[in-house]
């Protein structure tokens, strides 16, 4: 049968259809109707293919109800033509890392019902105020990192404008430090919040202010005579916040003031050891879930700033908690240094519906907690036991009896050895396995090849210092199609370029690869990864969205030749040591403005457990965003980066 060609009005040829037709012959209304079913990233992907589709996309963007671009930070010059003509926009979700106050008039409009803006560092409180004044019908608002840039600030009046104006809010997430802008008594302004609110998330607030917010019974509006006795936030079902210190008072206020609460996530990171009168005790745990509706509980004390713990909570507090949490589905506890096996075991044996169980830094938790887990009716799918140093292989063997395990986080459990891997290798549904710092060997990881590797999506062996290239050759021998997408190989002193060759040769569609602090990894690994060809979802090229090469000893300026386009077309996060050559690093960042280049060693990407917008990042989305970048930037050459490379080479020649 003869093959013919479809000519896209200005683009390339596509074979396989009868007759020679042009998209120009199709009614524009038909094309636009089809395009209304696509998201913005897909529209931009189409726009980059030919003039006809670009024209149609331009018109569609004037009336599309949703504009969602999560992982590309757009400039003012790009946002203005995409958003300004659209008066029917109802949902806006955007990374504002390259925007500031001058974009407020473009972003904020009366038609919006959902706003989710990340990385608003260069915006002041004017953004919050304008949303309150213009978006009277808003249902969802998520703002991240507002006014974090030096010189920006937020006033109490801006928050009042927001809460007064948006009287229909159902979801409110203010993910920045409110304590920097509010005085001790200002927590009461949250009395203005919509009575329809069901979800509230606050980036940081003091315990005192939160207690005032919850215990206030007066709700004052613009009319000073407007006073009611309704409980503030009485319809909130999900509360997530960070405070300076979790206390009995704030826990009691939450329990008594939020009768509809289903999901509670509260964490702190004290700068010093709290005093007894301002800390959580056994009696505070007794106050949790007074209404019996709580399904999800997370109480975490972080050691981010100071090595402090819940020193006034004992096994008795866990007994109190277990008595009130019989219907719990997920429990996460962190920093309970005095709680022993008896306390944690009581939780496990009391909550028959528990599917997610997490303990962070349980210094007294041992294998005995899981010794008779088979005697329970538990069906655990997610288990996290981070930094529980006393755990051994025996505990994991008992846990592995739950064949429904999908997520197993054992980071920092340094006494786990190869028997742990043998046990988990038989879990048919395991998708996430995190083993940072475990005492495992190449032989142990080879056990995964026999079963669980087919289902595993994320694997981390960071800091497992006994590992060599051998385990990579075993896992990535090309004998089977892998589901693996995320791989963390950081801080493996014996890992060499040969391991990355095996990975590249296998064609595994890895989207996230971390190699930081692998001193033997060099330019050859970057070349191998750049040359990888993965043909999933009909998108050829390297599948990597995140590549962390920070402090890899063999990386030189040669690697930067392979980090330019067209190599790594989907790459959005890159970690590199800035001292390799600062000029070339800066040139790369300017040439690929949508590539987030980190030179200071910070961790890249988002932690899924802490992602307040919880937007999934999939390979095909990343590919579409790359098309967006292509549409925005056009076909400009790499002149600037090449100039930087030439200057670097000239400097090197002069030194020689």
Predicted confidence band at 653 (pLDDT cuts at 50, 70, 90)?
Answer: low
What pLDDT shows up at residue 582?
74
Rounded Cα gap, residues 189 and 201, in angstroms: 16
Q: What is the pLDDT of residue 534?
A: 63
Identify the residue whose tokens are 């007064």: 164
Above 80 in pLDDT, residue 408? yes
Q: What is the model's pLDDT at position 69? A: 84
- pLDDT number for residue 335: 95
Residue with tokens 């089809």: 34
Output the pLDDT for position 602.
Answer: 87
Of the two residues 34 and 448, the one the predictor is more confident about is 448
Q: What is the pLDDT of residue 644?
A: 54
Q: Could you report the per-residue pLDDT of 301-317, keeping only the tens digit for each? A: 998 889 999 999 999 99
- How many CB atoms are closer than 10 A to CB 52? 20
Name every residue whose Cβ is closer than 8 Å to that of residue 139 and which is 6 or more positions away in sequence.
113, 114, 168, 169, 170, 171
Asked whether 435 and 411 are in contact (CB, 8 A), the reply is yes
If you average pLDDT over every residue of the chain, what do you get? 84
Phi, psi of 641 (to 5 degrees): -70, -35
How far apart CA 243 and CA 206 sit, in angstroms, is 5
Predicted confidence (pLDDT) per residue in 525-540, tens digit? 999 999 887 655 444 5
Distance CA 355, CA 407 (A): 11
| Position 266 pLDDT exceeds 60 | yes
Torsion sign over Cα 518, 522, 524, 529: positive
pLDDT tens digits along 189-214: 888 888 899 999 999 999 988 988 88
pTM of the model: 0.83
The domains of the chain, with CATH numbers, are: 30-64 (no CATH), 65-216+232-236 (3.80.10.10), 468-604 (3.80.10.10)
101-136: pLDDT as tens digits: 999 999 999 999 999 999 999 999 999 999 999 999
Q: Measuring CA to CA, which residue among 204, 282, 283, 285 is closest to residue 240? A: 204
pLDDT at 407 over 90: yes
| 448 touches 474 (CB < 8 A) | no
pLDDT at 583: 79
Per-residue pLDDT band for 219 (boundaries 50, 70, 90) equals: very low
Q: Once rounded to an integer, what is the mean pLDDT over residues 433-444?
A: 96
Q: What are the pLDDT digits (tens) for 33-67?
A: 888 777 777 777 777 777 778 778 878 888 888 88
Any idea which residue has 């920092």 for tokens?
412
Where is average pLDDT lowest: 411-415, 449-453, 514-518?
A: 449-453
Q: Where are the alpha helices (DSSP H) in 358-416?
A: 393-399
Give tens-digit pLDDT for 341-390: 999 999 999 998 999 999 999 999 999 999 989 888 888 999 999 999 99
pLDDT score at 643: 53
**pLDDT at res. 537:** 47
- The rounded distance, in Å, linking the Cα atoms of 454 and 452 is 5
Question: Taking the CA atoms of the chain, what radius of gyration do you get in angstroms?
Answer: 27
Q: What integer pLDDT is reported at residue 430 of this predicted model?
A: 95
Please tell me which residue, 288 or 11, carries the higher pLDDT value. Answer: 288
As a residue count, the chain comes to 656
- What value does the mean pLDDT take over residues 392-400? 95
CB 456 within 8 A of CB 448: yes
Res. 500: pLDDT tops 80: yes
Is residue 293 very low, low, confident or very high in pLDDT (cuts 50, 70, 90)?
A: very high
Residues 50, 56: Cα–Cα separation, whole Å: 10
The answer to whether the CB of 420 falls within 8 A of the CB of 393 is: yes
Residue of higher predicted confidence among 17 and 98: 98
174 beta partners: 143, 202
pLDDT in tens, 371-383: 989 888 888 999 9
Q: Is the pLDDT of residue 222 over 50?
A: no
pLDDT exceeds cutoff 70 at 494: yes
Please write the tens of the pLDDT for every residue from 274-290: 987 889 999 999 999 98
- Give the separation between CA 321 and CA 319, rounded to whole angstroms: 5
């Amino acid at each position: 049968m003869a093959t013919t060609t479809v000519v896209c009005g200005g683009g390339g040829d596509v074979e396989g259809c009868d007759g020679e037709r042009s998209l120009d012959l199709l009614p524009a209304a038909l094309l636009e109707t089809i395009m209304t079913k696509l998201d913005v990233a897909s529209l931009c992907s189409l726009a980059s293919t030919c003039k006809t589709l670009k024209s149609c996309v331009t018109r569609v963007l004037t009336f599309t109800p949703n504009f969602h671009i999560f992982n590309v930070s757009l400039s003012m010059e790009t946002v203005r033509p995409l958003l300004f003509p659209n008066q029917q926009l109802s949902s806006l979700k955007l990374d504002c890392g390259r925007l500031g106050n001058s974009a407020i008039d473009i972003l904020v409009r009366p038609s919006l019902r959902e706003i989710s803006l990340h990385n608003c560092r260069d915006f002041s409180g004017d953004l919050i105020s304008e949303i309150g004044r213009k978006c009277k019908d808003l249902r969802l608002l998520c703002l991240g990192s507002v006014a974090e840039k030096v010189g920006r600030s937020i006033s109490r009046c801006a928050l009042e404008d927001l809460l007064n104006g948006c009287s229909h809010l159902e979801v409110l997430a203010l993910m920045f430090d409110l304590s920097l802008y509010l005085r001790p008594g200002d927590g009461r302004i949250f009395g203005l919040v919509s009575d329809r609110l069901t979800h509230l998330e606050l980036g940081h607030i003091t315990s005192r202010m939160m207690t005032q917010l919850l215990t206030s019974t007066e709700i004052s509006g613009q009319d000073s005579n407007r006073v009611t006795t309704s409980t503030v936030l009485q319809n909130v079902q999900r509360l997530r916040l960070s405070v300076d210190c979790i206390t009995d008072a704030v826990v009691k206020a939450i329990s008594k003031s939020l009768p509809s609460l289903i999901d509670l996530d509260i964490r702190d990171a004290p700068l010093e050891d709290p005093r007894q009168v301002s800390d959580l005790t056994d009696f505070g745990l007794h106050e949790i879930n007074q209404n019996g509706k709580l399904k999800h509980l997370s109480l975490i004390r972080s050691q981010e700033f100071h090595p402090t713990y819940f020193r006034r909570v004992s096994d008795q507090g866990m007994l109190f908690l277990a008595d009130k949490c019989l219907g719990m589905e997920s429990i996460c506890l962190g920093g309970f240094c005095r709680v022993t096996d008896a306390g944690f075991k009581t939780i496990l044996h009391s909550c028959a519906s528990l599917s997610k169980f997490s303990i962070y830094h349980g210094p007294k938790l041992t294998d005995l907690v899981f010794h008779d887990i088979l005697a329970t009716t538990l069906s655990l799918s997610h288990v996290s036991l981070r930094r529980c140093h006393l755990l051994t292989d025996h505990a994991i063997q008992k846990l592995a009896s739950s064949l429904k395990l999908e997520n197993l986080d054992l980071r920092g459990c340094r006494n786990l050895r190869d028997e742990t891997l043998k046990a988990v290798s038989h879990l048919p549904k395991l998708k996430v396995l995190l083993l940072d710092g475990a005492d495992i060997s190449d032989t142990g990881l080879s056990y995964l090849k026999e079963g669980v590797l087919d289902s595993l999506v994320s694997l981390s062996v960071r800091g497992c210092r006994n590992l060599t290239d051998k385990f990579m050759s075993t896992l990535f021998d090309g004998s089977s199609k892998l589901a693996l997408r995320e791989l963390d190989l950081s801080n493996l002193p014996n890992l060499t370029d040969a391991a990355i060759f095996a990975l590249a040769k296998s064609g595994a569609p890895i989207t996230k690869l971390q190699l930081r602090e692998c001193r033997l990894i060099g330019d050859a690994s970057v070349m191998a990864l750049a040359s990888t060809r993965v043909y999933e979802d009909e998108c050829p090229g390297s599948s990597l969205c995140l590549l962390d090469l920070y402090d890899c000893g063999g990386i030189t300026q040669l690697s930067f030749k392979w980090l330019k386009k067209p190599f790594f077309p989907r790459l959005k996060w890159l970690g590199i040591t800035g001292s390799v050559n600062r000029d070339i690093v800066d040139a790369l960042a300017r040439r690929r403005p949508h590539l987030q280049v980190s030179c200071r060693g910070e961790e890249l990407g988002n932690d899924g457990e802490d992602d307040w917008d919880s937007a999934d990042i999939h390979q095909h989305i990343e590919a579409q965003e790359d098309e967006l970048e292509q549409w925005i930037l056009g076909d400009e050459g790499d002149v600037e980066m090449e100039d930087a490379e030439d200057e670097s080479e000239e400097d090197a020649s002069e030194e020689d």
